[in-house]
């Protein structure tokens, strides 16, 4: 919201609110409903996992099972949790 919008106390147009709400709920539903739909088509969590693996691989070696991603709904917010288990003798801090 721009300074002037605030100044004039202008509310967001209803269509903008509708679009934002849809984008949030559909991002969530595409993930939560996707596995039942289609296991062959990767959802964005899988895609992000691949990207993260690539970045982590630059610094240390981990297996795919060491990276866990979880989405949780809490009241009115979505929590994205990323858990990385480092190997016992990781060579990250050189």
Stretch that binds other proteins, among 34-42, 51-59, 66-74, 76-84 (CB under 8 A): 34-42
Q: Specify the residue for token string 């002037």.
A: 4
Determine, following the binding rule CB under 8 A, whether residue 86 of this chain makes contact with other proteins: no
Judged by CB under 8 A, which of 34, 48, 53, 69 binds other proteins? 34
How many chain residues are in contact with other proteins, going by CB under 8 A?
A: 19
Q: Give the Å distances, CA to CA, from 89 to 61, 67, 83, 86, 93.
A: 10, 17, 18, 8, 10
Nearest approach in angstroms of CB 25 to other proteins is 7
Q: Give the Å distances, CA to CA, from 4 to 1, 9, 16, 83.
A: 8, 8, 18, 42
* Site track 12-31 with other proteins (rule: CB under 8 A), x = hit: -xxxx-xx-xxx-xx--xx-
Nearest CB to other proteins, comparing residues 18 and 80: 18
CB 90 within 8 A of CB 60: yes
Distance of CA 71 to the CA centre of its chain: 8
Q: Which residues bind other proteins (CB under 8 A)?
A: 13-16, 18-19, 21-23, 25-26, 29-30, 33-34, 37-38, 40-41
């Amino acid at each position: 919201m721009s300074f002037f919008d605030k100044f004039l106390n202008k509310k967001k147009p209803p269509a903008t609110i509708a679009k934002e709400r849809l984008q949030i709920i559909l991002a969530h539903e595409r993930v939560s409903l996707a596995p039942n739909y289609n296991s062959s088509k990767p959802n964005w969590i899988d895609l992000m996992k691949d990207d993260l693996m690539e970045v982590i691989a630059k610094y240390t070696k981990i297996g795919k099972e060491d990276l866990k991603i979880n989405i949780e709904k809490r009241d009115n917010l979505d929590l994205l949790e990323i858990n990385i288990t480092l190997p016992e003798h990781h060579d990250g801090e050189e």
